[in-house]
Structure 1
Amino acid sequence: MTKILVTVVFVLVGGSLGYNFLPYVWALITSVPRIINNPITNMVLGAIVLYFLSVPATDYVERAIVKVENFLSDLSASYLLFGSLGMIIGLILSWLINLSLVGLQIPGFSDVLPIITTAMLAYLGFRLATSRREEIRRVIIGRGNPKEEDGGVLERKVQDNFRRNKILDTSVIIDGRIYDIVQTGFLEGSLIIPNFVLRELQHIADSSDSIKRVRGRRGLDILNSLQKEEGLTVEMYDGDVEEADEVDEKLVVLAKKMDGMVVTNDYNLNKVCEFQNVPVLNVNDLANAIKPVVIPGEEMHVMIIKQGTERSQGVAYLDDGTMVVVEDGQHYMNKSIDVVVTSALQTSAGRMIFARPVHSSKKLKEKE
């Protein structure tokens, strides 16, 4: 369809050019029959010439149109609206100014300066309207000056590091904790569910593996719960990211396009986002941040449930899932003992606590 429209435009432009300029060309040639030098023939000849020129040029024009469409689709509606209004106001002002400039009838000055004035005022109108659109919006809806109306309390200014769009990946949806986080109100902006993430969830839910099938259905249930949550904006991104093949790559590219943040609990995706300077919110980081701080020397009561990787080590888990590696804990398998913390290691993948039995620490002190 685009190629047909481009060809039609070329033909119409060619007919117009032929009608207006071919008579001057024929005037340079003394002996031109009347059947050739007439308006209809000129239009047909111009249209034919531009038609043949459109054949090689259509692909280039179509690619340019696609690039412009992609560029405009990345811009917000308010940006385009206020930018267009600002440009129109700039063009109106330039027209008023150019009336006086043209009336001066100064050779060169009256011809060139109006063009410069029009371009400058149109650009300034666009830039001013887009950079001050929040203030203009407040004036239009009648909120006036918040400092005067609210007793000197100014509205929070959105900082440059604020990202409105939070793009969820598959792992964080299946994990389910995102729903609890949303209910607490810690996430601002809109939650974006890409179409390729939804397809991956559906594929997991239809898997022949019972464990994967349960995980996939849990993810779909979480999405339905998020959709029904009041005061929360959940949007679907129906487009696809042709620049990438894998879901994680698509998420990174989409976050760059939408100027958004990736929400995940995938350790590897977290590192990829950091490497490509894409803002990322890791649910595991949040969980680790709100866990109680464990100080070396603190005592706790744990149950050894399995052997560790090193000799004589035992492994226990706290209620929040934190792994506790106990030295000489293998001798207390399936028993609850008191341990004292020696050190703690915290990463994006989780937190690990190292400890030893309390009685062994007491023996060391007695020896000292």
Structure 2
Amino acid sequence: MKIISYKKIILILMCMSMLSLLGCTDNKILKSNKNQVSNKVHKINNKISNFLGFPIYLDPRAGKVAYSTITEDDYFIYYCSENGINRVDKKTGEYKLILKCKNTGNLILSDRYIFFVVENGSKDCCILRVDKDGKNLLKLVDKKNVPERGYCIELSLYDDEIYIRVIGKVYSFNMSSYNIRLLCEDADSFQIHNGYMYYIDHGEKTFTIYKRNLNNLKDQIFLGKGISMPQSDIYDNFLWAGGDLYYSTRVPWKIHKYSEGKSVLINSTKNNYVSDIVEYKGQAYFVISDGDDTYRIKKYSSKDNAVFEVAELKDYYGGLRMVNGYAYYYGKDYKNQYIKLNE
């Protein structure tokens, strides 16, 4: 039996796409503009994408895409590119550049808005908001609000506040009052959960997870010893997902789940290390290195109380985003990479 190669399958499907277009070239389509024709091609390509298993919906019209910005809601996929902010309809595959703007990044969504950062070349933090259809652009934060010089490294939303990390400092910006507060001067990573700020410090290198009251800004040790350069109980990374805290410790590398006041070991690696912990659809995913430039994405299932491998990566340099069944990340030399999740 003759086996048709992968490339031939792609060629056959592309030909089918073109034939489908030729069969529909009535006067209306002939008079339509290039975008209308391109979107028709894209709808067909979206079906091919589902068959072949790779994301054709990253439309070439967008230009160079920043994979670390790819995100989604129930209906659309959004991402930043060299041309601005782009949107793709999940159902039809229709593509649209909704906001033309250079140097965009750090894109996050609320129910109604898109929040993003513009790197204006002067290393000042500049955060903007726009409706999900690209209308009503509004600047929220710039160098007048945040005196710290440096790009905005991290953005998050909680209630009516935007939380911003610039270098090691964390600020909160209230979208009703436009008031801004300095919450922390030394955070390597942070997350807002149930009205508290959880963070790991950087300068003191205590490798401790702190819980900070956002009203009086007082700390309590949540996990760890709170002393500089500890020899044990080294907390490396953490993430709240689905109401539980997942965190990694070293050395050796271990992954734990903290729930209802108790920590449970869910994964242990002797010679490997935990590179990242991310959340996708309320579940915790871990990027674990094999020590030979091979990385594995593993998922913890609360239902099964077990860890499952969902993807193998050739190399991994960070920036992991999981959207619509795919993992997007930076590979070697920070080149954009993606892989379909096996789940």
- Per the TM superposition, whether the score is higher than 0.5 is no
Higher RCO by CA contacts (8 Å cutoff, separation 6 or greater): 1
Larger Rg over CA atoms: 1
* Larger strand proportion of the pair: 2
Aligning the two structures, in what range does the TM-score lie when normalised by the shorter sequence?
A: under 0.3
